Amino acid sequence: MSLEGKVAVVTGAGQGIGQAIAVALAQEGASVAVVDLDLENAKKVADEAGKFSRSVPKRADVSSPADLTQTVREIVEEFGRIDVLVNNAAALHLVLPTEDVSLEEWRRSIDVNLTDTFLCSQAVGKEMIKNKSGKIVNISSVLGHAAVPKYAAYSASKAGILALTKTLAVEWGKYNINVNSISPGSTDTPRVLQTVTPEALKSREERIPLGRVNQPEDIASAVVFLVSSASGNITGEDIKVDGGMLAIHPGWS
């Protein structure tokens, strides 16, 4: 699935899933703009991706339209265009009963996970519309499809990404822009381990048909497919990368 000659932007690419995506795209030949709020992390990932293809770090606050406009302008000036956008930036979330979730925490989840995906898609989408071509992948979650207790804000934000993905696919299809999403299940990343113990993560594996949680590279492989020519007529779709977790009937034991 060669991406030779393509230019990709990956947000939240300083670690974890975003890092794996940036490196995987570079391995397939794409030039990659590694975008993260933490410039030092972005530099480290850009150095790793740079072993395979041209990669540059970019510090950007994806919640700031002005910051995004400037960053997109810099990337276009440097590379000439943007072919691929992966919206991966996300916020850590508090695991709380809904009655205890503050308005501040609610807004933070919605703003960082959903609104920032909208803002990045809008900023890069304008360039893709000009070029009448592009591929966008939004990272959602299995919790956008099914509910578990104490994840109200996070689940709502990720479900919103699924709806936004379909809307953009319908609106921008006429510009030859494919918009899809990926819903990861439990994934072994440093960020996840800040809210879930290694023991809890291990116990989840017992309920997964394929018997293991995701590694970041599992999500990266799905992204590579969705931004390649192999997915040319696929848009408005969501790929669940969860080892079959959501396929289980809830009454099964």
Cβ(21)–Cβ(223) under 8 Å?
Answer: yes
Structure tokens at 198: 């290694």
Hey, what's the torsion of the CAs at 57, 54, 76, 166, to 10 degrees?
Answer: -80
240: number of Cβ within 10 Å? 20
Strand pairing partners for 139? Answer: 182
Q: Hunting for tokens 């993905």 — which residue is that? A: 165
The residues annotated as belonging to the active site are 154
Hey, what's the torsion of the CAs at 208, 184, 48, 121, to 10 degrees?
Answer: 170
Q: List Cα–Cα distances, 102 to 129, 183, 251, in angstroms.
A: 38, 26, 33
CA proximity to 167, closest of 122, 229, 228, 108: 122
Read off the amino acid at residue 176: N
Cβ(214)–Cβ(188) under 8 Å?
Answer: yes
Structure tokens at 171: 């609106």
Q: Rounded distance, CA 42 to CA 84, Å?
A: 18
Q: Rounded distance, CA 78 to CA 159, Å?
A: 34
